[in-house]
């Protein structure tokens, strides 16, 4: 696939949506066709799944297995209907969360077997793979405080126990250590302009300096 997929990952409150938008703007300034989207979501079906996952629409507690499968269902729809066609025509995609979120949240956080989740991810994504994953890392307490300040309340996942959020952060860092050629870890506790500058430096080095 001739295009590039850049994914943003990390614990709650790291500023992924803001930084994804700023990076997309910078890439467009270079004359690149850029698509921005998010997970779960990005398609009509995916947005319905997102609402179900975040807002307890069914008034029935989701079991952990259902949660994992719903994330993968949204991902399958997005990959086949949006991401793969965009990459094939040469577009760049800036994506707020992708497969690593499932490994961190449902694997390290919820305790599901990571190898099984990798297989589910592969089934959902087909050939779509990130060229670069930017991990916006920050302490759990700071991230959750930011998330609540932003929205005024905690969504279903943000309400999980603190130990859950610590496990998923540690899981993200482990994933980054396992794939250093794909991941770049960014200190998201710094001011927004500093984080933006570091992301620009990483992208320049990875894609344009060679």
Q: What's the rounded Cα separation, in Å, for the pair 27 and 208?
A: 11
Domain ranges of the chain: 4-208
Q: What does the pLDDT read at residue 2?
A: 75
Query: Which CATH number applies to 4-208?
Result: 3.40.50.300
Q: What's the rounded Cα separation, in Å, for the pair 154 and 55?
A: 10
Q: What's the rounded Cα separation, in Å, for the pair 5 and 117?
A: 21
> pLDDT tens, position by position, for the chain (210 residues)?
579 999 999 999 999 999 999 999 999 999 999 999 999 999 999 999 999 988 877 788 889 899 999 999 999 999 999 999 999 999 999 999 999 999 999 999 999 999 999 999 999 999 999 999 999 999 999 999 898 888 777 666 777 889 999 999 999 999 999 999 999 999 999 999 999 999 999 999 999 985
Question: Taking phi first (over 0 means left), then psi (-120 to 50 degrees means alpha), and beta for anything else, what does residue 178 get?
Answer: alpha
How many CB atoms lie under 10 A from the CB of residue 65?
Answer: 11
Q: What does the pLDDT read at residue 210?
A: 58
Q: At what angle do helices 64-78 and 44-55 cross, to 10 degrees?
A: 160
CB 96 within 8 A of CB 20: yes
- Angle value at C-alpha 40, between 197 and 166, nearest 5 degrees: 65
Q: What does the pLDDT read at residue 158?
A: 75
pTM value > 0.85: yes
Q: What is the CA radius of gyration of the chain?
A: 16
CA-based nearest residue to 16, from 128, 87, 104, 79: 104
């Amino acid at each position: 696939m001739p295009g590039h997929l850049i994914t943003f990952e990390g614990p709650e409150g790291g500023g992924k949506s803001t930084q994804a938008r700023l990076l997309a703007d910078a890439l467009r300034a270079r004359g690149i066709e850029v698509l921005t989207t998010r997970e779960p979501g990005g398609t009509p079906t995916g947005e319905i799944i997102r609402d179900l996952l975040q807002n307890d629409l069914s008034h029935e507690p989701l079991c952990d297995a259902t949660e994992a499968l719903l994330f993968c269902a949204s991902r399958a729809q997005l990959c086949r209907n949006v991401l793969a066609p965009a990459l094939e025509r040469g577009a760049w995609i800036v994506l707020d969360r992708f497969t690593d979120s499932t490994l961190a949240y449902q694997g390290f956080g919820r305790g599901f077997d990571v190898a099984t989740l990798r297989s589910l991810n592969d089934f959902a994504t087909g050939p779509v793979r990130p060229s670069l994953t930017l991990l916006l890392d920050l302490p759990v307490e700071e991230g959750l405080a930011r998330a609540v300040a932003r929205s005024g309340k905690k969504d279903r996942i943000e309400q999980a126990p603190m130990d859950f959020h610590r496990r998923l952060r540690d899981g993200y860092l482990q994933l980054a250590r396992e794939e250093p050629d794909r991941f770049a870890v960014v200190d998201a506790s710094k001011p927004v302009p500093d984080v933006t500058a570091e992301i620009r430096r990483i992208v320049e080095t990875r894609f344009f300096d060679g």
